[in-house]
Amino acid sequence: MSTASIQRADEVIAGTYKRFPVVLTRGSGCTLWDESGREYTDFVAGIAVCNLGHAHPQVAEALCRQARTLWHVSNLFYTTPQMELASWLTARSFADRVFFCNSGAEANEAAIKLARKYFKTAGQPNRFRIISMEQSFHGRTMATLSATGQEKVKAGFDPLLEGFDFAPFDDIAALRAKVGPDTAAVMLEPIQGEGGVRCPQPDYLKQVRALCDEAGLLLIFDEIQTGMGRTGTLFAYEPSGVAPDIMTLAKALANGLPMGAMLAREPVAAAFGPGSHASTFGGTPIVSAAALEVCRTLERDGVLDHARRVSDHFRERLEWLKGRHALVEEVRGRGLLLGIRLAVEGEPFVHACMARGFLINCVQGNVLRFVPPLVIGVEQIDALVACLDEIFGAARQGRVGNHGG
Ligand SMILES: *Cc1c(COP(=O)(O)O)cnc(C)c1O
């Protein structure tokens, strides 16, 4: 790795990230290479973004084809890729309409605006409050950080946007107690990703839906991390048997090109008319064409079936690790959004994995999160598990460090 280019980057790029001291230059499938030619198996996937892996040939081809055809014209005009992508998404979800934008935070901004507009349009202008969850993550813009239930995201940015209340995740009684006459919506992640790969009880989403119906509230699911097959179904809400009124997507939607989307049922979506909301780049042909190919590939190649199969194996191997190492306290997650909660700080293990050629990440200080491309193979999973087994064993003997194989 070139220390000179890393030093230069640290001088000229905003200091908002703590980066690993490595310059990644190339990727293919689930493998990444740094500038010294070192190889890594990727269990981060750009933080649950590159679901089809890196440099996917069909997606690259669709992108190149669109690059030679039409990049951008604005939303003053109709374009085919955007129309086809919206058709694909609505045909496979509860939603009737899609608003396209460029990131997760923007998708949640759109959802928050739509919830407010819906009640204004319905003649209930005082209903603007949104209940979201403790330990949630909804983004870094002023509205979405105001909706986020983590102090470390908000510190230093007050005054925050008004109108957000917080309830503990996976506690229906506590949520019910937060509902007031001004409440417009409940907003939550079906599985909390940044919050530590936390899955609620199996009937929780159903109970939240029932509560929303009873109190006339909109239900917003932030599926920015869980959507597009990450949890083994196209959307994480599917196995719950209930659907939201509004859902947000981003991360994996275009496999790494910036794209967000806010989907809604018709009566709710109707509150957004011409001029209500807009985005210059939202749903631009070049990104939509890539996203459309991502969607088609997920189905054509049976990627979700594969993800569910390898997830069962991965979980079983993580449980095996838990049986062998007392510092592994819990195996969490669904599909290929998996994590293990440790009794100790997780960061040293992230570095130890990296030194052995595996990229993983750590959330909430002590949860190792595994979000590989959905096309990850069993052999790659087994290799990571062997690596974890070795470094957990070394940790027991007080030898965890950055210097491995
Ligand atoms: C990543 C993420 C966001 C924010 O997405 P950005 O594209 O970084 O703005 C919002 N919600 C959830 C659940 C996420 O995982």
Q: How is residue 58 written in tokens?
A: 């069909």
Residue 384 contacts by C-beta under 8 Å, 6 or more apart in sequence? 41, 43, 353, 358, 360, 370
By the 10 Å C-beta count (0-12 exposed, 13-18 middle, 19+ buried), 365 is classed as exposed
Task: Say yes or no to pLDDT of 163 above 90.
Answer: yes
How far, in Å, from the CA of 257 to the mean position of ligand 1? 14
By alpha-carbon position, which residue is closest to atom 15 of ligand 1? Answer: 225
For the chain, the domains span 3-55+302-396, 57-300
At 249-302, the pLDDT tens digits run 999 999 999 999 999 999 999 999 999 999 999 999 999 999 999 999 999 999
Strand partners, 338: 333, 370
Active site residues: 137, 222, 251
CA distance 92 to 75: 24
Residues with CB under 6 A from ligand 1: 103-105, 108, 137-139, 189, 193-194, 222, 224-225, 250-251
CB hemisphere CA count around 83 (13 angstroms): 4
pTM: 0.97
How far, in Å, from the CA of 185 to the mean position of ligand 1? 19
Residue 70 contacts by C-beta under 8 Å, 6 or more apart in sequence? 79, 285, 286
By alpha-carbon position, which residue is closest to atom 6 of ligand 1? Answer: 104
Q: Which CATH architecture has domain 57-300?
A: 3-Layer(aba) Sandwich (3.40)
List the end-to-end C-alpha distance of the chain, in Å, as a whole number.
17
Could you tell me which CATH class the domain 3-55+302-396 is placed in?
A: alpha beta
User: Order of strands across the sheet with 367-370?
Assistant: 328-334, 337-342, 367-370, 361-363
How far, in Å, from the CA of 234 to the mean position of ligand 1? 17
CA distance 112 to 294: 27
Same fold? 3-55+302-396, 57-300: no
- What pLDDT does residue 1 have? 47
Q: Could you tell me the pLDDT band of residue 401, with boundaries at 50, 70 and 90?
A: low
Residue 82 contacts by C-beta under 8 Å, 6 or more apart in sequence? 100, 283, 284, 285, 288
Give the ligand 1 atom nearest the CA of 103.
7
At 170-195, the pLDDT tens digits run 999 999 999 999 999 999 999 999 99
Give the ligand 1 atom nearest the CA of 251.
7
Torsion, CA 167, CA 232, CA 337, CA 86, rounded to 10? -70
